Amino acid sequence: MSVTPLEALPLETLRRRSSTKWRSYPEDVLPLFVAETDFPLAEPIRAALADAVEIGDTGYTPPDPGLRDAYAAFARRRFGWEVDPARVNWTGDVMMGVVELLRATVAPGERVVITPPVYPPFYICIEEAGGAPHEVPLLEDGAGWSLDLDGIEAALAAGARAVLLCNPHNPTGTAHSRESLAALAAIARRHGAVVISDEIHAPLAQPGGGFTPFLAVSEDAAAVGFAVTSASKAFNLAGLKCALLLTAADATTAVVRALPREVEWRTGLFGAIAAVAAFDASSDSWLDSLLARLDANRRLLAGLLAEQLPLARYTIPDAGFLAWIDLSAYGWGDDPARTVLTQARVALHHGPEFGAGGAGHVRLNFGCAPEVITEAVTRMGALARS
C-alpha cells in the first residue's frame, strides 16, 4: 500500500519558529545545517502537549511517565525487537545519557573508540566524561560505509575500554549490518570493553534499510551493550528533553540503576509526554508518511547533485534525513560549508567537525520541502559554475 509523503510547513511559518535552525542566520539563508526538521508535529503529540498546557501540567516528571511500556510496544512494532520494559530508563537527552554511561564504565583518561566521520558531540561528550577519543574511521568502498572491525579490535587490544557506536550512523546514514554488529559485540566482550550505541536515528530507518538494534544481535551484545535512544530526531522533539537508556542484561542494567538520581530527574515532563505519544501506535501513520517523504527527498537530492554538482560524491543513506556529501572536487577548501554559506547563502554543517575524513565534506539536512532542497542545490550549482 502506497503512503502519501508528509508535507513540510511553508517557509513563512517555519521562520516564526524560535529554534536554532531558524534563529542562527538571516532570512536570505536556507538553513540545512542542524538536525531539525520542517514538518508539523504528529497529531497525537500535538494533542498531548496541548492538553498538558491547558491543564497546567508543567511540573516534575513522575517516577513512571509511561515510557517503559510505550517504548517496548514501539520496538516490537517497528523493529520486531522484544524489549523488557523493566530495563528501560530515561534521562534528558541522548548525549547526556552517553556522558553518564561513560562516567560509569570508563576511568579518567581511558580511550573510547569512535568511528569518524561521526557526530561532532561524540568528541565533546567523551572528554566531558573524562575519557579520550580514539578514532577508528569507517571503511568506504565506494558503495557505502562499514565498521573497521580489525581497527576496533586493535584499539581495544591496546587498551581502549569502550566503543561509542552510532547506529544508524550520523552523518553517513549507514545502518550497520547485523553481522558487523555481532562481530563488534564479540570483539568488545573478548577485550572486556563496553559498547554504547547511540540509536537516536533508528525510527528513521527506511523499510528494507536493515536497521538492527545493537542489543538484539547476540548474547555478547546483551552482555556488553547499552543503547541510548529518543523520539526527538524522528518526531522533532529535541527541545523537550527526553531520552531512553536501554539494557539487556543484569550487569548492564545494574550500571544504569546505580547512576545518580539526577540523571533521571533531568528528563523534561513535556519530553516524556511527547515521547509516550510518539511511541504510541496512533503516531505510526505520521512516521510512515515522514519516511515516505524522506525516501523521496534522498533520491531527489541524488538527482539534483548529478545535475547541478556532477563532481560531488553522495551515497543515498539507509536512514535519517542527513546527507554526507563530498565536495572536495570543487576546490572550496577543507571546509566547503563556509564558501557555500557566504557565496550561495545555504547553511550546511561543517565537514571537518566530524573528524577524520571530514575535510572537503558537508552535511546537508534534507528533512524539508523538496522545493527547499531544489533551491539549495541549484544555488550551489550556480556557485560551482561561476
CA 263 to chain centre: 21
* Domain boundary, last residue among 239, 260, 282: 282
Alpha-carbon dihedral angle through residues 183, 189, 190, 191, given to the nearest 10 degrees: 120
Mean pLDDT of the chain: 97
Under the banding of pLDDT at 50, 70 and 90, the label for residue 161 is very high
Considering only CA atoms, which of 238, 275, 200 is closest in space to residue 44?
275
Strands (E), the chain: 30-31, 88-91, 111-114, 132-135, 139-140, 145-146, 162-166, 194-198, 225-229, 243-246, 313-314, 322-326, 346-347, 349-350, 361-365
* Domain boundary, last residue among 282, 307, 336: 282
Q: How far apart are CA 322 and CA 367, in angstroms?
A: 8
Considering only CA atoms, which of 264, 260, 197 is closest in space to residue 224?
197
Contact 360, 330 (CB under 8 A): no
Quick check: is 1 in a domain? no
Q: How far apart are CA 94 and CA 101, in angstroms?
A: 11
pLDDT of residue 295: 98
Residues 124, 185, single domain; the answer is: yes
Residues 53, 32, single domain; the answer is: no
Q: How far apart are CA 269 and CA 235, in angstroms?
A: 16
Quick check: is 3 in a domain? no
Domain of 356, CATH number, reads 3.90.1150.10
CA-based max dimension of the chain: 61
Residues 83, 137, single domain; the answer is: yes
Size (the chain), residues = 386
Residues 273, 312, single domain; the answer is: no
Quick check: is 75 in a domain? yes
Residues 320, 238, single domain; the answer is: no
Residues 224, 312, single domain; the answer is: no
Residues 24, 109, single domain; the answer is: no
Considering only CA atoms, which of 200, 216, 179 is closest in space to residue 321?
200
Quick check: is 301 in a domain? yes
Quick check: is 5 in a domain? no
Quick check: is 338 in a domain? yes
Residues 193, 175, single domain; the answer is: yes
Percent above pLDDT 70 for the chain: 100
Q: Which residues pair with 196 in a beta bridge?
A: 164, 226
CA 125 to chain centre: 15
Residues 100, 186, single domain; the answer is: yes
Residues 86, 234, single domain; the answer is: yes
Tell me how many domains the chain contains: 2
Average pLDDT over residues 125-150: 96
pLDDT of residue 1: 65
CA 185 to chain centre: 21
Q: How far apart are CA 238 and CA 240, in angstroms?
A: 6
H helix runs in 227-268, sequence order: 232-235, 250-257, 261-265
Contact 381, 21 (CB under 8 A): no
Quick check: is 352 in a domain? yes
pLDDT tens digits for range 231-288: 999 999 999 999 999 999 999 999 999 999 999 999 999 999 999 999 999 999 999 9
- Structural domain for 335, as ranges: 11-40+284-385
Percent above pLDDT 90 for the chain: 98
pLDDT of residue 344: 98
* Domain boundary, last residue among 230, 261, 282: 282
Domain of 230, CATH number, reads 3.40.640.10
Residues 343, 224, single domain; the answer is: no
Q: Which residues pair with 322 in a beta bridge?
A: 365
Contact 32, 325 (CB under 8 A): no
Contact 165, 136 (CB under 8 A): no
Is residue 209 pLDDT above 90, yes or no? no
Q: Which residues pair with 323 in a beta bridge?
A: 364
Residue 10, SS3? coil
Instruction: Give the contacts of 201 (CB within 8 A, at least 6 positions apart).
Output: 168, 170, 173, 233, 234, 319, 320
Quick check: is 4 in a domain? no
Average pLDDT over residues 161-172: 98
Residues 30, 52, single domain; the answer is: no
